[in-house]
């Protein structure tokens, strides 16, 4: 058993872990009791488990917890507040993107990273960023509209 400290959504959190190679997703959900990100495929292929590590969207189900010690971990809950939502969150609501919301971590955190890198992305850049994300409700076109809206707000 080892103790590690993670910086999650701006707060330092210390947890006991049995396995340094345990997926970050399991530590976030089971040890820190965060309800996002979510378990989807367990293979890094769907995006439901997405978090940002130092501003880059990564799949937490295939990221060893030991590899993120000392790095900034941001979950969906860490990008905005109810009083001051992130522009992507505002656009998501305005475009009524999500139906069930299970996959929202992947889509929103990927959109946030995209807009940081490309404040006025082309449709090709948006579609490329969203490759590998799965929404079983089929809200892909609404997500693209939300990214366009968020880019206009900036």
For 53-110, how does the pLDDT look when each residue is reduced to its tens digit (9 = 90+)?
A: 999 999 999 999 999 999 999 999 999 999 999 999 999 999 999 889 999 999 999 9
Q: What is the mean pLDDT of residues 14-24?
A: 95
**Cross-strand partners of 137:** none
For 31-49, how does the pLDDT look when each residue is reduced to its tens digit (9 = 90+)?
A: 999 999 999 999 999 999 9
Q: Where along the chain do the CATH 1.10.150.120 domains lie?
A: 87-153
Query: Which superfamily is assigned to 2-76 in CATH?
Result: Beta-grasp domain (3.10.20.30)
Distance separating alpha carbons of residues 1 and 85, to the nearest angstrom: 38
Q: Which CATH architecture has domain 87-153?
A: Orthogonal Bundle (1.10)
Give the helix/strand (H/E) hosting 57.
strand 56-59
Which range, of 59-68, 106-115, 132-141, averages the lowest pLDDT? 132-141
Q: Where along the chain do the CATH 3.10.20.30 domains lie?
A: 2-76
């Amino acid at each position: 058993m080892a103790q590690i400290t993670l910086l999650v959504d701006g707060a330092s959190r210390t947890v006991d872990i049995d396995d340094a190679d345990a997926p970050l997703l399991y530590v976030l959900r089971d040890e820190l009791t965060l309800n996002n990100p979510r378990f989807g495929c367990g293979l890094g292929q769907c995006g439901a488990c997405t978090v940002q590590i130092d501003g880059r969207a990564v799949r937490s189900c295939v990221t060893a917890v030991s590899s993120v010690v000392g790095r900034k971990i941001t979950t969906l809950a860490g990008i905005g507040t109810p009083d001051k939502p992130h522009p992507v969150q505002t656009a998501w609501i305005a475009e009524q993107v999500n139906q069930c919301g299970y996959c929202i971590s992947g889509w929103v955190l990927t959109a946030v990273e995209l807009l940081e890198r490309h404040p006025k992305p082309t449709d090709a850049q948006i579609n490329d960023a969203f490759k590998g994300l799965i929404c079983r409700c089929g809200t892909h076109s609404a997500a693209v509209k939300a990214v366009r809206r968020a880019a206009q707000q900036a």
